[in-house]
Structure 1
């Protein structure tokens, strides 16, 4: 029955990939289509309001500067609201202003689409900041990520001279994708008993005569964009394990599909831009193959039970249920865990700190690879990066100048790809080492031994991958962790983003090379295997030693 549940969800996802990918293509193709008739009027009003008279294409540098300028304004507004939220309206619980380093961490977290939370939502922010900062950032950060992904795809597939207009892509992403889908799914979640109210905390008397305070708020609206935008920040401290955020099995499946469907559809969108849908299916197949391996590792590890508890003779027939909700069980918990870290969402319906050692490898590894579907387009961009690297390696082996989609891959592109590949492990491993070398960092570790290593490693991996989930045993709301993870989130988002935009800008200027009998094909099963091999090779070279020190060593000591 467990396997059947997982299979059904995967089948539903597969049925959504083509129609969603086609829709996203129509949104960003800049060709006249039926979506213009629905959204065109509202968008033209927005363009007029912001003074965007001419929606001319941009070079990659102007595109990047537009992203940075927009994000700087959003950060300034959001940080100010968090610092003074205690004195503003829509604060029925009387929550105070957010401390400066926590506000810094929070605003960087949400503008980078990481949504790492060093605070508990019901007590750390107000209704106003939940909506005007947290929910607003979920829309804008997701739209920014989508815009970069589309600009990158245009750069490597088009025969033009620009990669598009950021502001047009940004507005289209919000108006044509995130707002309409979020509106519909909010109504669905409300119908399934997820709260959506501005009423204050509910005060009730239990059957034992004890007074209990039950937090409420505009939960459903945040919950939808949290997943559709692959954001992950929860309205409540325990995220989607909370019964108000995720009441039952139906809402659990809907949340899985919301955060998975859009990233899974982007490879098909890429195929449409490339005028060869086989190219898109190759990328999708590589992602799905890796995903199924990690899902199997998590599911069967959790199903087998905790090694420590098994050694003590506890009944393991239900699997390792520590930290999991009974209403979801092993299958839906394992699937949620794998999807949320594959899609870099960060939403959790169980506590990852209580995963078995081998079960905890899968979410860690997916964030380290950062290309298994991914959210907001990051997975597509990174998988295309590995595809280019695979083509380059194969070209060297046969003595040909490597080509990808009719463009030659030259030293400039490889240098930029190397930056994107090397920055990710650097901003994970270096802060992890620093945390263990200082009392400010190591003092927050709540578990001794190898599991403590996993806690710290997971925190920085989640930050660098802009995921946001955590091994919640870590006492991370301190100035040290707020500042260091804030910096890691910032670098993890913008360095690789700028590098890949530069690659797109370089590709778009190249002369198209006609395909010949000697051209290395990138739309077949062989190339799928090459991509998977490249991903695993680079991942193993950079992260295998630290994985061995954390989850693997913990597993071996518990056997």
Structure 2
């Protein structure tokens, strides 16, 4: 167990070491102050602006900003759906069939919303063209959209009595050109050096041990895997995701991919502190995130190492469903990273985790994926919780509810509440809808509490734009495809609209100087307050449901 803890300490130390300078770099480029070493990318940025046209030069209010976000997302959704439904007739699509309308819509919504829920097996269902020009492109775009919205919110918090929040197209292009593309290129090259597949070949035919004609599938995987991790997307090129040796061949590739999941979300927390010119504000959020992630990692690792359910399987703790290359330590760490961030990739079968080992990643999602979280969406979700904590703490101690010199008023709390409560309500609604369906038992491979856990986890993943699954639940059904599409769309864009309205309202406020009556948001007391607020909302909302699933299964096994 000591070696497992050492793995976690080493991982988070490296994460913070890289995230600090990356956070400063992101702050600089998103403010338009391009460092000299990145000047070589300016022609690409200008080329994007020429394609976009005059819209890239217009200053935008909150409503205009979010309207452009929705316009781009709607266009992406329609284009990707059409591509998937006609892929057989597109280049390189002769070996695959066109996707049905429900599956095509579900897949398109999944990648446009940064969820990457996959109700299909990538190497069997999609062509290289669909993977490269459909899914990989949306991995970049959806991540850039989230980062752009976060930048608009930060401007709203920091600016004084302004009307405009910047330009969405400039924010998105800078996110792509200076952050996502360079990092993805570097990571893709590193993964290729470890043996991750990157080829246009469809595969190699061979004869199995029993004389069967089989095929070893190949493809341009490394380029998609790099951005799936960095963009907190998570959709695998292969059905087995990052448990597949062609996606994740070595211990070093596993470490790099795991690090990439949390790298930009962690860097954005530091970027926020640098942007508001008070690094202690970022420190508050990074401490809260590390507390949750660290405790979650310990909980999963202990459960998988000492849990009674599969003790001594294969001569060790619970190795069922895990890659022997990674063991319980790296698999436990990955499960925490992928659900703390809005990622959803896996390097082990979560359905084979112990009940409590699977409950912890589920609960991280149910908190709203704010512990590091997805690119942009994680931090603006955390800021919604922070504003709520400021408001509650201010009422409790009789101090003015202010954040960074701006008063927190009723409208701000309403918008923050929408951000917090929307995924929560969708999770419970989605679980109810699936459980009450007359055919639900035919979709499940298990019964009892574990079957309920599979449904609860699936709904949680869809409603929080994660994309991972317990498995055991047949996802490619018309009902789940369409229900999942609704859950993913509402969970992505309703909070995003609320955040933009919050940014616009904060943007119009004047700043007041702090006084003795101003509540400190960088003190240890406030850190504890924020942790309590997050836990109380999560526990009160989901403890009954978790009790019916993972906890009931654990007590039954005991």
2:268 is aligned, of 245, 266, 269, to 266
Equivalent residue runs for 1:140-289 within 5 Å: 140-159=141-160, 160-205=162-207, 210-289=212-291
- Is 2:23–2:271's contact at 8 Å kept on the other side of the alignment? yes
With 33-42 and 244-253 compared, the bigger mean Cα shift is at 33-42
The answer to whether structure 1 residue 328 and structure 2 residue 326 are counterparts is yes
Q: Is the 8 A contact 1:116 1:468 kept in 2?
A: yes
> 2:127 aligned with 1:129, yes or no?
no
Q: Equivalents in 2 of 1:32, 1:489: separation in Å?
A: 35
The alignment status of 1:501 with 2:503, answered yes or no, reads no
State the shift of 1:341 in Å.
0.6
Q: Which residue of 1 aligns with 2:108?
A: 107
Tell me the alpha carbon deviations over residues 440-487 of structure 1, each in whole angstroms, 9 at most, x when there is no partner. 444312211111111111111101111100011111110011011111
Aligned to 1:338: 336
Give the superposition deviation at 1:118: 0.1
Q: 1:304·1:316 contact (CA, 8 Å) conserved in 2?
A: no
1:386 alignment counterpart: 385
Question: 1:423-502 maps to which residues of 2 (within 5 A)?
Answer: 423-502=422-501
Using the TM superposition, give the Cα deviation of residue 4 of structure 1 relative to its aligned residue in structure 2, in angstroms: 2.1
Question: Deviation of residue 117 (structure 1)?
Answer: 0.1
**Structural mapping, 1:31-110, within 5 Å:** 31=33, 33-34=35-36, 37-52=39-54, 55-91=57-93, 94-110=95-111
Structure 2 distance, partners of 1:491, 1:296, is: 33
Distance of aligned partners of 1:200 and 1:418 in 2 relative to their CA distance in 1, 3 Å threshold? closer
Displacement of 1:425? 1.4
Residue pair 1:27, 1:35 contacting (<8 A) in 2 also: no
Pick closer, same or farther for the CA change 1:177–1:315 going to 2, 3 Å: closer
Shift of 1:3: 2.4
Displacement after TM superposition at 1:84 (Å):
0.7
Q: Is the 8 A contact 1:420 1:499 kept in 2?
A: yes
Q: TM-score scaled by structure 1?
A: 0.96
> In structure 1, how many angstroms separate the alpha carbons of the residues matched to 2:272 and 2:55?
29
**Number of the residue aligned with 1:360:** 358
Q: Deviations over 1:282-304 (max 9, x none)?
A: 11111110111111111100011
RMSD of equivalent CA atoms: 1.5
1:522 and 2:532 matched: no
Distance 2:185 2:388 in 1: 40
Q: CA deviation at 1:35?
A: 6.0
Task: Tell me the CA shift for residue 437 of structure 1.
Answer: 1.3
Contact 2:56 2:169 in 1 (8 A): no
Deviation at 1:232, TM superposition (A): 0.4
State the match for 2:346 in structure 1.
348
User: Does the 8 A contact of 2:241 with 2:345 survive in 1?
Assistant: yes
| Residues 384-406 of structure 1, C-alpha deviations (whole Å, 9 max, x = no match) | 11111111011111223310110
In the alignment, is the contact (CA less than 8 A) between 2:422 and 2:495 conserved in 1?
yes
Question: Does structure 2 conserve the Cα–Cα contact (< 8 Å) formed by 1:340 and 1:347?
Answer: yes
Cα deviation for residue 32 of structure 1 reads 5.4
Unaligned runs of 5+ residues in structure 2 are: none
Whole-angstrom distance in 2 between the partners of 1:54 and 1:255: 33
Give the match's secondary structure for 1:358: helix
Q: Is the 8 A contact 1:239 1:349 kept in 2?
A: yes
* CA positional deviation for 1:39: 2.2
Runs of 4+ aligned residues of structure 1 deviating over 6 Å after TM superposition are none
Once the two structures are TM-superposed, the CA of residue 54 in structure 1 deviates from its matched residue by 5.5
Structure 1 unaligned regions, length at least 5:
none
**Cα displacement (A) at 1:187:** 1.2
SS of 2:214's partner is: strand
Q: Give the deviation of 1:207 after TM superposition.
A: 6.4
CA change 1:508–1:553 in 2 (3 A) is same
- Alpha-carbon distance in structure 2 between the residues aligned to 1:246 and 1:102: 27
Give 1:423 deviation, angstroms.
1.4
User: For residues 384 and 61 of structure 2, what CA distance do their matches in structure 1 show?
Assistant: 20
Q: CA 1:492/1:196 → structure 2, altered by over 3 Å: closer, same or farther?
A: same
d(CA) in 2 for partners of 1:402 and 1:35? Answer: 42
Contact 1:278 1:524 in 2 (8 A): no
TM-score, with length taken from structure 2: 0.97
Distance in 1 (alpha carbons) for counterparts of 2:313 and 2:272: 48
User: What is the CA–CA distance in structure 2 between the aligned matches of 1:316 and 1:114, rounded to whole Å?
Assistant: 34
Q: Deviations over 1:488-543 (max 9, x none)?
A: 00011001111111111110100111111221111222221111111111111111
